Amino acid sequence: MTTNTDLANHALALLGELPISDIESETSKPARVCRQFIQSAMDETLRMGRWNCATERVTLARNSTAPVAGYDFYYDLPGDFIRLLEVNGEQYEDSSEFFEVEGLKLASDEDSVSIRYIRRITIGYADGLLANAMAVRLAGKIALPLTGSEEKAITFARLFREALGEARQHDAQESGTGRNPRWQKVFSRSRLLRARGTGRNPETYQLPS
């Protein structure tokens, strides 16, 4: 899938509907319904994972307006921002820094803020399993307004959870060591700690190649 029309047609096919020719210009009901829900289906799917193909790093620009209270600075988040992953090199869930996301701004006391985040992407940037999950999400959203079937909407909500889980699993296999807890990295690099864990002499213990 490389275009929004491809994505829409994938979702329509899952519902047993005929394809459309152009999601942007076509006036048929399937095209109009797909056009209404496609961006939300993509954004919601992106927000539910830590997708390698949608990950970006950036140093934020400081906003000229400061918060009224609580923090010293506002930093402008990118316009394609979907989900925060890291702040100044630390995963946001375990960050030692204090901050809050407020709309498209990040409030912080830090003099400089760099983030790693999930960005909004076009379908052409999505890997196959992520694109499939987006199509299943879209199918679930358009099932009721297009077919009138509440049963199909419920079915595709379940199928989406399965497609999302499969996509996450395979995506995580290509994430390297960036998501490992810091203590695991320290342990893996420490001859002394690894030797203690195995009962060997730290002076002679060699790290595996």
Q: Distances from the Cα of 75 to the Cαs of 39, 45, 102, in angstroms? A: 26, 26, 10
Q: What is the pLDDT of residue 15?
A: 97
What percent of the chain has a predicted confidence (pLDDT) above 70?
83
Q: Is there a single domain that holds both residue 130 and residue 161?
A: yes
pLDDT in tens, 31-73: 999 999 999 999 999 999 999 999 999 999 999 999 999 999 9
Judgement on whether residues 96 and 187 belong to the same structural domain of the protein: no
The pLDDT of residue 97: 76
Q: How many domains does the chain have?
A: 3
The answer to whether residues 45 and 59 belong to one domain is: no
pLDDT band at 98 (very low <50, low <70, confident <90, very high): confident
Biggest alpha carbon distance in the chain? 75
pTM, rounded to two decimals: 0.82
User: Both 41 and 132 in a single domain?
Assistant: yes
Report how far apart the first and last C-alpha atoms of the chain are (Å, whole number): 40
**What is the pLDDT confidence band of residue 96, given thresholds at 50, 70 and 90?**
confident
If you average pLDDT over residues 190-203, what whole number do you get? 49
- Same structural domain, 40 and 89: no
Q: Are residues 70 and 115 in the same domain?
A: yes
Region of 61 please: left (phi>0), alpha (psi -120 to 50) or beta.
beta
Neighbour-count burial of 68, counting CB atoms closer than 10 A to its CB (0-12 exposed, 13-18 middle, 19+ buried): exposed
Helices 128-147 and 4-14, axial angle in degrees (round to 10): 60
Are 23 and 72 contained in the same domain?
Answer: no
Query: Could you tell me which of 128, 137, 182, 167 has the C-alpha nearest to residue 14?
Result: 137
CA distances from 2 to 7, 37, 79 (A): 8, 18, 22
The structure tokens listed for 139 are 């199918």
Q: Are residues 131 and 105 in the same domain?
A: no
Verify that 19 and 71 share a domain, yes or no.
no
Q: Does residue 61 share a domain with residue 92?
A: yes
The C-alpha torsion from 47 through 52 and 57 to 62, rounded to 10°, is: 0
Structural domain for 29, as ranges: 4-49+126-172
